[in-house]
Chain A
Amino acid sequence: MYLRLIKKLQNIINRISPILAISMILILWQTLSATGSIPKFMLPSPIDVVNAFLKDFTLLMQHAGTTLMEAFLGLSLGVLLGFLVAVLMDRHEIAYKAIYPVLVITQTVPTVAIAPLLVLWQGYGITPKITLIVITSFFPITIGLLDGFKSSDQDALNLMKAMGASNFQRFIHIKLPSSLGYFFAGLRISASYSIIGAVVAEWLGGFSGLGVYMTRVRKSFSFDKMFAVIFFISMISLLLMLLVSLLQRVLMPWEKEKLKRENSRRGKKK
């Protein structure tokens, strides 16, 4: 009885510890700016930031709409391209050997460095933003899918072959579902990359979007708004990652069953 109480308490502490840590940081921050240890124009207090966010709420939402639209289009194209490249590389050994180094090289080029080039080539419209997002987001997808395809059970593939399955059937029934877990791991990364990519591209020129908003408030030295938009962007990234996790849970129901079993086993051990 007593032991169980302790266990419960530990459980609660485990769960609220991240919330506690964040609150501590916020309190420290608030006191630092309230006591004037750091000048207010340089580091606005958390309350100022929240106020700035609320004041500019409608404007922020409009800009967020643009950014999300770009991110969505770029990510969709990136996923599509990533998928096609992964399938091609899985299907033909020569494609794998030829493309893999190129893929790695594209990842070593910093986003911030190619963004200005893209703007010069493609103007201030939506195109350079989408291009940048495609470049950054398709890599995790391709690599994830490739690892996933490779992870398929070789014996199961052989069995399917013995049953007379075509390459396409083996792909649909074994390779594709085997790779879903890896795909979603890649998609979680790509989703947050897509927002960052959009914002970086918007810094360099554009008519609306959170990156454009950021540049404007920076030029007017509105630190509170700067902070507000930074937090807003990370919030959006977190939400997107959550959305991907939800999607994964819906599309991979068998994982849920496995998890349930594992949890119940762990529970029994206790």
Chain B
Amino acid sequence: MENLTARDITVSFDGVKIIDNISIELNKGEIVCLLGVSGAGKTTLFNVISGLLTPDNGTVELDSEVITGKAGKVSYMLQKDLLLPFKTILDNVSLPLIIRGMKKRIARETATKYFKEFGLEGTQKKYPSQLSGGMRQRAALLRTYLFSDKVALLDEPFSALDTITKGNMHDWYLEVMEQIKLSTLFITHDIDEAIHLSDRIYIMTGKPGRITEEIMVKEPKPRNKDFIVSKEFVEYKKQILKVLEQEAAV
């Protein structure tokens, strides 16, 4: 059932431990959140999982295959959409397919199929500069999905958006996820966002970065907007705040 496992990951830069013995797992179709303050080493952990960085200790496994230090296995999306300004949206999202060796024409055809599902219809021939921030993030997510439909790492994907757009993006995101069932590990420092979107939350604290708590969000999906103003939601939030406060006190 497990899809992605990172075991006993330790990373240090210049003798300073950035993350200390972290183990996390991600099951198929799950949305799991890494919640923590800035500087807790969340992004470093992502760099390890994506293979951009080789850890001092520990292994990363995807479907029982060891992928430690191997790039190109899990997909990655950042706060910046990183759409290339000189390519149309269609060419931007089909880029991962082309990198994998697919012919341009076929890559475009394959990518086009998903535009409706991702709410991107009509943007195929536009350039990123012609789209709003929310639409650009949608395109970035589609590109991430086309790169790998197994596991996606999202590093603060919605944090650059304004609150209203962010709310809409959350609804859109959950809706798309219902359909594509992409196993996702995402980073955020927004507690509400974490509770709203995740099945499971790892609370990460620094320094060095480690996992201090794991919280299951049992609210069934699909979740509607009412969830974020419900009593259960507040309970989750209290629980998380308590953990963070305790950590800050130490």
Residues of A within 8 A of B (CB): 153, 155-156, 158-165, 169, 173-174, 177-178, 180, 252, 254, 257-258, 261
Contact = CB atoms under 8 A, between A and B. Distances in A.
A174 B52 CA distance: 18
Contacts of B127: 254, 257-258
Nearest to A172: B98
Contacts of B82: 153, 155-156, 159
A174 B100 contact: no
A129 to B, nearest CB: 36
B86 A252 contact: yes
A159 B127 CA distance: 19
Contact of A258 (B73, B78, B129): B129
Given A156-B84, A177-B86, A254-B129, A161 B52 contact: yes
B75 A163 contact: yes
B206 to A, nearest CB: 23
A164 B72 contact: yes
- A163, A178, A258 — most chain B CB neighbours (10 Å): A163
A21 to B, nearest CB: 36
Given A155-B78, A258-B129, A163 B72 contact: yes
A149 B222 CA distance: 46
Nearest to B86: A177
Contacts of A254: 85-87, 127, 129
Contacts of A153: 82
Contacts of A178: 86
Contacts of A161: 52, 71
A257 B130 contact: yes
A162 B130 contact: no
- Give the interface size bracket for B toward A: 20 to 34
A155 to B, nearest CB: 6
28 contacts: A153-B82, A155-B78, A159-B76, A160-B95, A162-B71, A162-B72, A162-B75, A162-B76, A163-B72, A163-B96, A164-B72, A164-B73, A164-B99, A165-B99, A173-B84, A173-B95, A173-B99, A174-B84, A177-B86, A177-B87, A178-B86, A254-B85, A254-B129, A257-B127, A257-B129, A257-B130, A258-B129, A261-B129
B133 interface: no
B145 interface: no
Contacts of B80: 155
B51 interface: yes
B147 interface: yes
A168 to B, nearest CB: 11
Contacts of B59: none
Interface of B: 50-52, 71-73, 75-76, 78, 80, 82, 84-87, 95-96, 98-100, 126-127, 129-130, 147
B130 A261 contact: yes
Contacts of A258: 85, 127, 129
Contacts of B147: 163
Given A163-B72, A254-B87, A254-B127, 18 more contacts: A153-B82, A155-B78, A156-B82, A160-B99, A161-B52, A162-B52, A163-B75, A163-B76, A163-B95, A164-B71, A165-B99, A173-B87, A173-B95, A177-B84, A177-B86, A254-B86, A254-B129, A257-B130
B52 A158 contact: yes
Contacts of A177: 84, 86-87
Shortest 9 CB-CB distances between A and B: which pairs? A164-B72, A177-B86, A162-B76, A254-B127, A165-B99, A156-B82, A162-B50, A254-B86, A257-B127
A180 B86 CA distance: 10
A61 B129 CA distance: 45
Contacts of A160: 95, 99
A159 B71 contact: no
Nearest to B74: A162
A233 B38 CA distance: 62
B100 A164 contact: yes
Nearest to A178: B86
Nearest to B96: A163
